[in-house]
Chain A
Amino acid sequence: MSPGFDRRAARVLPDAAAVERHDAGAWHLRAQRDAAVAQVGDFEELRSHASAIKAHTLDHLDRYLEEFEEQARDAGAVVHWAEAADDHNQIVYELLRERGVVRAVKSKSMLTEECGLNAFLEARGIEVVDTDLGERILQLAKEPPSHIVVPAIHKTRADVGRLFSEKMGGISAEAPAEQLVEHARRDLRARFLGAQAGITGANFAVAQTGSIVVCTNEGNADLGTSLPPLHIVCMGIEKLIPTHDDLAVFLRLLARSATGQAITAYSTVHTGPVTGRELHVVLVDNGRSRLLADRAHRQSLACIRCGACLNTCPVYRRSGGHAYGLTIPGPIGQAQSPVLGGLGADPELPFASSLCGSCSAVCPVRIDLHGQLLAWRRERPGYGWIARLGLRLAAAAFRSATLYRLAARLLRAAWPRLSRPGRFNPAGRWLSSRELPPHPGPGFREQFLRRRDPDVASTRTT
């Protein structure tokens, strides 16, 4: 695994207690998912059905995009197309600038994170306030999200208390969670009422009627779109689904997979603007069409961003989302990163996985996540020269009996040294989070020889 991954993980989760807490928090979501899923008799059929809908939609995505655009336009919305992140940012900026907007509220959207919209707008004098509580916490802390559903999962109540008392004032750092939420509620309520525009993502876009579907538990997207006169939706082109009947399938799967709720508290379908208001939809490609063209990897575009694969992943749970260095962490981020992760994506990311398959087992749209990671390992062996040299040597040793015996003897001799932690141990970094198994003792050949002829064997051992 890449040293970058380890170092980044250690920054967010610096000690065993932090790792433990993060692990437990994510696993709690997984356990709640299991309990919710057990209530639905046909959950496995739903997963297969959802997977088939997504596969079909991706196979005909151009048609569904055109249908969506036509229907949305008929309903009175304006549809924009953006090839790359900056195009998207520019479109949103122009819409705001032309209407003299200087204060906007935004509800959770991983796409605007991916595009760096906040920084882009702030640099041009437009204040954007994140209104999802988790995102607000991170906006104040100036940190990226570490989870796609619970963006501040790496924080503690004490972290939030300190942050609020420092950055917002008027509240004690020791305040309980209820008071912290109430404090944020009051602050954000005023911002909702004063906002001139609401920006949201989209969980789904229904081609049949040109509708946008936004799901939240806090109701922030609904406040942000029912108060200001302008609503801008920023969404990736992969969010399309054909019909409302299909939407019912996804609404049954999404919250159960994400948090174990039967449905999110608020799921709102927007079809065109309310009379006298404006609705704009920005359809963003930013690498998605390239991923679509990749037959082996396109299935990862089916993701509905439920976060279940993060919650269950033993690597994610113990490393935290920031370790991945991606907007979308966890198995799905790893699966998409070689294409969507940008040039800065860590080439060793597909290796940060135990390939246990737990992610694929919970994914509501049945993406073969661990299979995807294995495929990337084969296609882009992104590991460094030390690992490559090691594998070469291993290959050579397995080809020659003499070399194999020599290597086994050397390793056995070096074992006591290798298992001692310390600066001069070549395996030191690897051992910082692992333990070597005990010395395996003499190998089969030696044992065989010793039993057949104890005298001969004793001269050969050690």
Chain B
Amino acid sequence: MSARTRILAAVRAGALRERAHPGRFRPGPGDASWDALAAAVAGSGAEARGPFERREGSAEAHELGSEVAFLVTRWGGGRSVAAPDAARLLGPGPWETVSVDADPASLADVAIGIVSGAVAVAENGAVGIPAAFAPQRALLFLCERLILLVDAGNIASQMHIATEAVGDSLAADAHFSWIAGPSKTADIPGTVVVGAHGPREVAVVGFR
């Protein structure tokens, strides 16, 4: 008998088959406004900016692109790398587009990462990033500073609603990350220090 068979048999012996699943949780009313999201983003230690107008064309030609270019300059430039979907949203600007089959370690010196999210959650400031939006996942964690682009029309008040909105990627993608604010640690007792491993600063930039 394999370990699997033995464990399942032991678990089956203790499985009472008594209680039914409670069904879907019905959340109370929530606020899915940009302002609610901005407040939660601030609470997570990140900065919310916008929402800005977006148009096709080069970054200088529209508000969103100009704002991101401004942030890149404010944060001191350095190697700035955008994921493919973010690069498409912004148009050409002072950043390179990450190649899907780059060795993740080649991103170790990235100063600023730019990635778009599929949904943002107003109750906690998290931005949901499916694999398609961050094919090089390591970019999200290796960069010193991170810019997350969010469509102001894709804000969910609570996690339940956000989960529903991105259900397909959750089921099909190899990875999906909720990111809320910069990397932080409280492991040296008495203080919260930002920038434990990943980005030291995060900006959530909205657009419409």
Residues of A whose CB lies within 8 Å of any CB of B are 21, 25, 40-42, 45-46, 49, 52-53, 55-56, 58-63, 65-66, 75, 81-83, 87, 131-134, 137, 150-153, 155-157, 160, 177-178, 180-182, 184-185, 188-189, 192-193, 208-209, 211, 217-220, 222-223, 226-227, 237, 242, 244-245, 247-249, 251-252, 259, 261-275, 283, 285, 289-290, 292-295, 298
Q: Are A53 and B163 in contact (CB under 8 A)?
A: no
Question: Which B171-191 residues sit within 8 Å CB-CB of chain A?
Answer: 171-191
List of A residues within 8 angstroms of B18 by Cβ: 59
Q: How far is the CA of A290 from the CA of B10 in the complex (A)?
A: 8
Most buried by A among B12, B124, B190: B124
Determine how close the nearest CB of chain A comes to the CB of B66; give it in whole angstroms.
Answer: 28
Q: Per-residue 0/1 for B135-176: is the Cβ within 8 Å of any A Cβ (1 yes, 0 no)? A: 001101110000000000000001110111001001111111
Q: Are B182 and A265 in contact (CB under 8 A)?
A: yes
Q: Are A223 and B196 in contact (CB under 8 A)?
A: no
| Chain B minimum-CB-distance residue to A272 | B174
List of A residues within 8 angstroms of B28 by Cβ: 41-42
Q: Are B196 and A219 in contact (CB under 8 A)?
A: yes
**Given contacts A59-B18, A227-B105, are A185 and B197 in contact (CB under 8 A)?**
yes
Q: Are A182 and B14 in contact (CB under 8 A)?
A: no
List of A residues within 8 angstroms of B102 by Cβ: none
9-residue interface stretch from B19-27, B51-59, B70-78: B19-27
Q: How far is the CA of A177 from the CA of B190 in the complex (A)?
A: 9
List of A residues within 8 angstroms of B170 by Cβ: 209, 211, 244, 269, 271
22 A-B residue contacts at CB 8 Å? A21-B189, A41-B28, A58-B15, A65-B7, A81-B7, A133-B185, A137-B187, A155-B188, A156-B190, A157-B191, A182-B195, A185-B195, A211-B170, A222-B177, A223-B197, A226-B140, A227-B105, A249-B159, A263-B159, A269-B175, A274-B175, A289-B10
Q: How far is the CA of A60 from the CA of B43 in the complex (A)?
A: 38
Q: Are A263 and B13 in contact (CB under 8 A)?
A: no
Determine how close the nearest CB of chain B comes to the CB of A179; give it in whole angstroms.
Answer: 9
List of B residues within 8 angstroms of A40 by Cβ: 123
Q: Are A259 and B186 in contact (CB under 8 A)?
A: yes
| Chain A minimum-CB-distance residue to B5 | A81
Q: How far is the CA of A283 from the CA of B4 in the complex (A)?
A: 9
Q: Are B174 and A270 in contact (CB under 8 A)?
A: yes
**Given contacts A56-B21, A222-B141, are A157 and B189 in contact (CB under 8 A)?**
yes
Q: Are B15 and A61 in contact (CB under 8 A)?
A: yes
Determine how close the nearest CB of chain A comes to the CB of B153; give it in whole angstroms.
Answer: 21
Q: How far is the CA of A242 from the CA of B160 in the complex (A)?
A: 15
Residue in A177, A193, A222, A273 whose CB lies within 8 Å of B188: A177
Indicate if B61 sits at the interface (CB-CB under 8 A). no
Residue in A137, A150, A218, A269 whose CB lies within 8 Å of B197: A218
Q: Are B189 and A152 in contact (CB under 8 A)?
A: yes
Determine how close the nearest CB of chain A comes to the CB of B5; give it in whole angstroms.
Answer: 9
Q: Are B175 and A271 in contact (CB under 8 A)?
A: yes
Determine how close the nearest CB of chain B comes to the CB of A70; give it in whole angstroms.
Answer: 12
Q: Are B159 and A217 in contact (CB under 8 A)?
A: no
**Given contacts A83-B3, A193-B105, A293-B10, are A132 and B124 in contact (CB under 8 A)?**
no
List of A residues within 8 angstroms of B158 by Cβ: 248, 252
Please give me the 4 A-B residue pairs with the lowest Cβ-Cβ distance, nearest first. A219-B198, A262-B124, A134-B187, A292-B14
| Chain A minimum-CB-distance residue to B140 | A222
List of B residues within 8 angstroms of A208 by Cβ: 171
Q: Are B138 and A223 in contact (CB under 8 A)?
A: yes
| Chain A minimum-CB-distance residue to B123 | A262
Q: Are A271 and B173 in contact (CB under 8 A)?
A: yes
How many of B's residues come within 8 Å of A, CB to CB?
A: 76
**Given contacts A42-B28, A81-B2, are A271 and B171 in contact (CB under 8 A)?**
yes
List of B residues within 8 angstroms of A188 by Cβ: 197
Q: Are A237 and B11 in contact (CB under 8 A)?
A: yes
Q: Are A244 and B105 in contact (CB under 8 A)?
A: no
Residue in B15, B124, B173, B191 whose CB lies within 8 Å of A177: B191
| Chain A minimum-CB-distance residue to B124 | A262
List of B residues within 8 angstroms of A65 by Cβ: 7-8, 11
List of A residues within 8 angstroms of B105 by Cβ: 193, 227
Indicate if B125 sits at the interface (CB-CB under 8 A). yes
Q: Are A185 and B196 in contact (CB under 8 A)?
A: yes
Q: How far is the CA of A152 from the CA of B189 in the complex (A)?
A: 8
Determine how close the nearest CB of chain A comes to the CB of B55; give it in whole angstroms.
Answer: 32
Q: How far is the CA of A273 from the CA of B180 in the complex (A)?
A: 24
Determine how close the nearest CB of chain B comes to the CB of A67; give it in whole angstroms.
Answer: 12
Indicate if B40 sits at the interface (CB-CB under 8 A). yes
**Given contacts A181-B193, A293-B10, are A217 and B137 in contact (CB under 8 A)?**
no
Q: How far is the CA of A273 from the CA of B131 in the complex (A)?
A: 12
Indicate if B87 sits at the interface (CB-CB under 8 A). no
| Chain B minimum-CB-distance residue to A41 | B28
Q: Are B188 and A237 in contact (CB under 8 A)?
A: no
List of A residues within 8 angstroms of B140 by Cβ: 222, 226
Determine how close the nearest CB of chain A comes to the CB of B115; give it in whole angstroms.
Answer: 13
Q: How far is the CA of A155 from the CA of B189 in the complex (A)?
A: 7
Q: Are B43 and A262 in contact (CB under 8 A)?
A: yes
List of B residues within 8 angstroms of A263 by Cβ: 44, 121, 124-126, 159, 178, 180
Q: How far is the CA of A42 from the CA of B21 in the complex (A)?
A: 19
Determine how close the nearest CB of chain B comes to the CB of A258; give it in whole angstroms.
Answer: 10
Q: Are A219 and B197 in contact (CB under 8 A)?
A: yes
Q: Are A59 and B15 in contact (CB under 8 A)?
A: yes
Q: How far is the CA of A61 from the CA of B108 in the complex (A)?
A: 42
List of B residues within 8 angstroms of A157 by Cβ: 188-191
List of B residues within 8 angstroms of A292 by Cβ: 10-11, 14-15
Q: Are B44 and A262 in contact (CB under 8 A)?
A: yes
Q: Are B163 and A219 in contact (CB under 8 A)?
A: no
Question: Which B101-132 residues sit within 8 Å CB-CB of chain A?
Answer: 104-105, 108, 121, 123-126, 131
List of A residues within 8 angstroms of B195 by Cβ: 181-182, 185
Q: How far is the CA of A181 from the CA of B197 in the complex (A)?
A: 9
Q: How far is the CA of A270 from the CA of B137 in the complex (A)?
A: 11
